């Protein structure tokens, strides 16, 4: 087993494509959102706040991307994992930046997760749709 790992991560150019595709989808469905693109460690690489997007959505979008990077799960997958676990569900409120509703999805290139995109400003389902459209920008 190697002492050092080499892992790929999203570049600024890749993040800009994700951001462009996500905001294009948001415009197409008529929703003003914030979009955050993070690298595989959860660090912000690119961010955009569309005109009219709620101010609070800026941090939520970043936290959705961070949640995906930190745990490897899309944010909409969390509820099914915790809803029947009272201790976990109530303990989660103590976890900074953890978001458990739709709008955060992994960015995958060549079968490897290279980052995450988080979207906030619409409904949970709209945010998820927009994030998924952004993530599709990396499909070879």
Q: How many CB atoms are located within 10 Å of the residue 115 CB?
A: 29
Exposure of 42 in the CB half-sphere (CA atoms within 13 A): 13
Q: What is the mean pLDDT of residues 2-22?
A: 94
CA–CA distance, 123 with 40 (Å, rounded to integer): 25
In angstroms, the CA 41 to CA 37 distance is 11
Is the pLDDT at 18 greater than 90, yes or no?
A: yes
Q: Per-residue pLDDT tens for 93-105?
A: 678 899 999 999 9
Q: Which domains does the chain have, with CATH numbers?
A: 12-138 (3.30.450.150)
Tens-place pLDDT, residues 38-91: 999 999 999 999 999 999 999 999 999 999 999 999 999 988 888 888 888 777
- pTM summary value: 0.93
């Amino acid at each position: 087993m190697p002492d050092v790992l080499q892992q790929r991560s999203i570049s600024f150019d890749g993040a800009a494509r994700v951001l462009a595709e996500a905001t294009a989808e948001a415009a197409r469905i008529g929703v003003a959102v914030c979009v955050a693109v993070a690298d595989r460690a959860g660090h912000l690489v690119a961010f955009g706040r569309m005109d009219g997007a709620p101010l609070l959505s800026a941090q939520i979008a970043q936290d959705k991307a961070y949640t995906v990077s930190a745990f490897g799960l899309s944010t909409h997958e969390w509820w099914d994992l915790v809803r029947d676990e009272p201790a976990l569900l109530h303990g989660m409120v103590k976890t900074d930046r953890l978001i458990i509703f739709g709008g955060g999805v992994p960015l995958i290139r060549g079968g490897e997760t290279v980052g995450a995109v988080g979207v906030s400003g619409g409904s949970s389902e709209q945010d998820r749709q927009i994030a998924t459209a952004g993530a599709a920008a990396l499909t070879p």
